[in-house]
Amino acid sequence: MNDEYILEVNNLKQHFPIRTGFFQRVTGHIKAVDGVSFAVKRNEVLGLVGESGCGKTTVGRTVLRLYDPTAGDIWYRTERGERINVATLKARDIKPLRREMRMIFQDPFSSLNPRRTVKDLIGEPLLIHGIAKGKAMEERVAALMTEVGLDPNYMERYPHEFSGGQRQRIGIARTLSLSPRLIIADEPVSALDVSVQAQVLNLLQGLKDELGLTLIFIAHDLSVVEHISDRIAVMYVGKIVEMSPSEELLRHPLHPYAEALVSAVPPADPDIKTQRIILEGDVPSPANPPSGCVFHPRCRYANQSTCVEVEPVLEEIEPDHFVACHLARELHLAGIGG
Ligand code: SF4
């Protein structure tokens, strides 16, 4: 792993057992994540997008070892420059990493204990990790509240006294309290009104630049991640099907699924007319994925031989542009302004 990379994930798999019957025998597996590989540079934002159930949240949780991976490596370069495989760490060795690798959750209300004040919520990680208590903790909480655009005079208030956007700011302050280096933001604006989403996105972008953070930004909506992400990885049924710099993906998608996601993004220029592609059918179950290319039952370009029988592999077919599609070199797919 080159020095500029903070994280490198290789062939990550997260298969959850399906247990049935009185004896709870394992009768199958849900392949929530099935061979995902990507790398993230320092101070980069990688967007991870795809429909619900595609495995993007499971990737985030597995990278942070909230789940133990079924297989694969998660190489992380620590603040001290050590290269650690998070996938194989013993539980006691994970705790120090929890300071460096943190998560922002989707629902700011359910992720905050309603019976605790904002001071307690933001200060708790400082206490747990023995970083600050008493007056020093209060000062750090006040500084963090200011950093995320909240009035520190409200630190004795409870989460229900804040709006949805403010609650997400509390969640972000709590995440920042331990000065992390890598943040996995799991749908951090999906539960917010559209008018508030832009404010929170701008806050995250500003904090990333100011604090030199690295972010994995998970969302189901490509239009949410496109502005904040340097690169975007598109997931479908547990696999990455396309990955490239954001602008390139929007302008020039190479995978038919990415083309459909791009078609739903409103163009910045209202004079540009786009044709929205509505995908027929449902996302297949990761417990019983289709043969060949997992996207073939919904793909309007699928052919009946190769696509149905042979699974495509993710390959770099243009510089820094990876795609898993047999026909990627032949198709001319529509992007925004493309
Ligand atoms: Fe569609 Fe075939 Fe490409 Fe899969 S491999 S995305 S089915 S064209």
Residue 327 near ligand 1, beta carbon < 6 Å: yes
Query: For residue 173, is it within any domain?
Result: no
CA-CA distance, 198 to 290, in Å (whole number)?
Answer: 38
Please check whether residue 214 is in contact with residue 230, taking contact to mean a CB–CB distance below 8 angstroms. no
Query: For residue 13, is it within any domain?
Result: yes
pLDDT digits (tens, 9 = 90+) for 56-90: 999 999 999 999 999 999 999 998 889 999 999 99
**Overall domain count for the chain:** 1
pLDDT at 336: 87
Query: For residue 171, is it within any domain?
Result: no
Other Cβ atoms less than 10 A from the Cβ of 176: the count is 21
CA-CA distance, 140 to 142, in Å (whole number)?
Answer: 5
Q: Once rounded to an integer, what is the mean pLDDT over residues 19-23?
A: 90
Structural element, H or E, at residue 309 = helix 306-309
| pLDDT over 80 at 108, yes or no | no
CATH of the domain at 266: 3.40.50.300
Query: For residue 231, is it within any domain?
Result: yes
pLDDT digits (tens, 9 = 90+) for 282-326: 899 999 999 999 999 999 999 988 999 999 999 999 999 999 999
Q: 74: which 2 tokens?
A: 């998660």
Query: For residue 131, is it within any domain?
Result: no
CA-CA distance, 39 to 8, in Å (whole number)?
Answer: 4
Residue 312 near ligand 1, beta carbon < 6 Å: yes
Task: Report DSSP letters for 53-107, one per residue.
Answer: TSSHHHHHHHHTTSS--SEEEEEEE-TTS-EEEGGG--HHHHTTHHHHEEEE-S-
Structural element, H or E, at residue 172 = helix 164-176
Residue 237 near ligand 1, beta carbon < 6 Å: no
pLDDT digits (tens, 9 = 90+) for 191-246: 888 888 898 899 999 999 999 999 999 999 999 999 899 999 999 999 999 999 99
CA-CA distance, 56 to 279, in Å (whole number)?
Answer: 20
- The rounded Å distance from CA 290 to ligand 1 centre is 12
**Domain residues for 276?**
5-100+180-323
| pLDDT over 80 at 153, yes or no | yes
CA-CA distance, 202 to 224, in Å (whole number)?
Answer: 11
| pLDDT over 70 at 136, yes or no | yes
| pLDDT over 70 at 1, yes or no | no
Residue 234 near ligand 1, beta carbon < 6 Å: no
Query: For residue 259, is it within any domain?
Result: yes
Query: For residue 154, is it within any domain?
Result: no
Query: For residue 336, is it within any domain?
Result: no
- Choose one of 234, 280, 294, 301 to mutate for the ligand 1 pocket test, by most ligand atoms within 8 angstroms of C-beta: 301
